[in-house]
Structure 1
Amino acid sequence: MMFQAQVKYLAAACVALSLLSGCQTVGKKPAINTAPLEAGQDPTKQFSLEGKIGVKTPKQSGSAFYTWQQDQDQFSIQLNGILGIGKTIIEGQPGQVTLDSSKTGLISATTPEELLERATGWIAPITYIIDWVRAQPATNEAELERDEQQRLIKINEADWNVDLSYADQDTLPNKLIMRQTYQSGEEIKITLLIQKR
């Protein structure tokens, strides 16, 4: 369970590391295990996403392309041109998350949130994105709104307001807009486009 929460923090690392980047193309995909699932494994936790992410905060903004591969409790995210550090690979398994690039070398942490803070100096509490991209709330406390087809279109959870959009009759979203507003009125806005699953 603890690592499931850690995996959810991975998206925060992807978002924050994308902040100051320009639009770059993604290179070769990281390898992912294609062996058949074993008994008890969740098929929804073996997926691949490609797309574009944009982040806007009161102090900075930017966008980048990403490739995210998930295989149960292991993940790999590849980013290019992030923060001017060239090709960047973020990988995780239970108890260890690493970020590696030619300019920064290897940075490691026990959680993606800790890694995010080391790499960028700030924390984005986007702890549930692995569920949101699958059109699911992460907790029972989430406030939800559905469309006429019963697809999830709004989530209010963990101080984040999430709008989900779908292409045609798809049951999984192709766009998520996540917003968090501080007491000062300042807002973080994250737009995640999923161009390929």
Structure 2
Amino acid sequence: MKQLLVVTSLLLMTACTPFWQTKPLEPAEQLWETRQTALKQMDNWSFRGRTVIRQDKEGWNVGVTWQQQKEEFNIRLFGPFSQGGVELAGNDKLVTMTFSDGETYSAATPEELLAEVLGWLLPVSALRDWVRGLPHAPIKIDEKTLDEKGRLITLSQAGWQVEFVDYAPLEGNDVPAKIFIEHPQLSIRLVMNGWKAGK
């Protein structure tokens, strides 16, 4: 009789287990969650590199340096400008573009400024996250794939296809060293080196 009661109790407990109980995350997803937390805390960083930008039938080879201090950024572009380099500096409220001859332009966002002045459709705000190996938070993730270390391999957001080709170590984390970005109107090949974290 006692054995019957024990068996009955076990069956009832099993039956009462919620069918919606969350499944354990796969190892790669667990590592991905940890990586996201660490990379989001990395808000002071810089790198230098080169990028190839192709839009419609035009293309540009551009040298780039990017310094980020929390919300403040300073991006310098070198190469395809008859005036010399261009500096893009600002924050989430105001962005200023300055040419080497002192000519300046301002706008509310870097995307608006680059489109108006240079005709480029660069997703600078999203790039701030993508170059760290993160999705751009305000945009829904349509699809993503991870490697065995929990690092992004591919990412799809709002029509942008991002491929994370290579990574490099940076103070205990891996950050992208090469990314390819595709959009129906634009493609970007960005190689990053000289990564630094902190002030």
TM-score, length of structure 2 as denominator length:
0.68
- From 53, 64, 67, the equivalent of 2:65 is 67
1:59-92 Cα distance to aligned partner (Å, 9 max, x none): 2002111110000111111223442121221110
Letter in 2 for 1:114: E
Q: Closer, same or farther in 2 for the Cα pair 1:110/1:188, shift >3 Å? A: closer
Q: Is the 8 A contact 1:82 1:88 kept in 2?
A: no
**CA 1:104 to 1:81, structure 2 compared with 1: closer, same or farther past 3 Å?**
farther
Residue 128 of structure 2: SS of its match in structure 1? Answer: helix
Amino acid at match of 1:57: Q
SS at match of 1:121: coil
Most deviating of 165-174 and 99-108: 165-174
Question: For the structure 1 residues 135 and 168, does the alpha-carbon distance in structure 2 shift closer, same or farther, using more than 3 Å as the test?
Answer: closer
Report what 2:28 is aligned to. none
Alignment-mate amino acid for residue 140 of structure 2: E
Residue 102 of structure 1: aligned partner: 100
Deviation of 1:126 after TM superposition, in Å, equals 5.4
Match of 1:162 in 2: 162
Tell me if 1:174 matches 2:177: yes
Q: What is the rounded CA distance, in whole Å, between the counterparts of 1:52 and 1:89 in structure 2?
A: 15
CA drift of 1:43 comes to 4.0
Q: Distance in 1 between matches of 2:85 and 2:176?
A: 27
Structure 1 moving runs of 4+ over 6 Å: none
Look up the match of 1:18: none
Residue 36 of structure 1 is matched in structure 2 by: none
Identity of matched residues, %: 30
| Unmatched runs of 5 consecutive residues or more in structure 1 | 1-41, 182-186
What does residue 45 of structure 1 align with? 43
Larger helix proportion, structure 1 or 2?
Answer: 2
Instruction: Report how many residues are paired.
Output: 151
Q: 1:136 to 1:85 in 2, by over 3 A?
A: same
Work out which of the residue numbers 128, 149, 173 in structure 2 matches 1:130. 128
Q: Aligned-pair distance for 1:144?
A: 0.7
Distance 1:129 1:122, change over 3 A: closer
Where does residue 6 of structure 2 map in the other structure? none
1:168 Cα deviation from its structure 2 partner: 6.8
Could you tell me whether the CA contact under 8 Å between 2:168 and 2:177 is conserved in 1? no
RMSD of aligned C-alpha atoms?
2.2
Deviation at 1:94, TM superposition (A): 4.1
Q: Aligned pair in 2 of structure 1 residues 58, 104: CA closer, same or farther (>3 Å)?
A: farther
Query: Deviation string for 1:22-46 (max 9, x for gaps)?
Result: xxxxxxxxxxxxxxxxxxxx64111
Larger Rg belongs to:
2
- Single out whichever of 98-107 and 57-66 deviates more from structure 2: 98-107
Structure 1 counterpart of 2:110, from 108, 112, 118: 112
Alignment partners' CA distance in 2, 1:43 and 1:148 = 22
CA contact (8 A) 2:66 2:75 kept: yes
What residue is the counterpart of 1:56 in the other structure? Answer: 54
Deviation at 1:154, TM superposition (A): 0.3
Whether 1:88 aligns to 2:86 is: yes
**Cα offset for 1:188?**
2.1
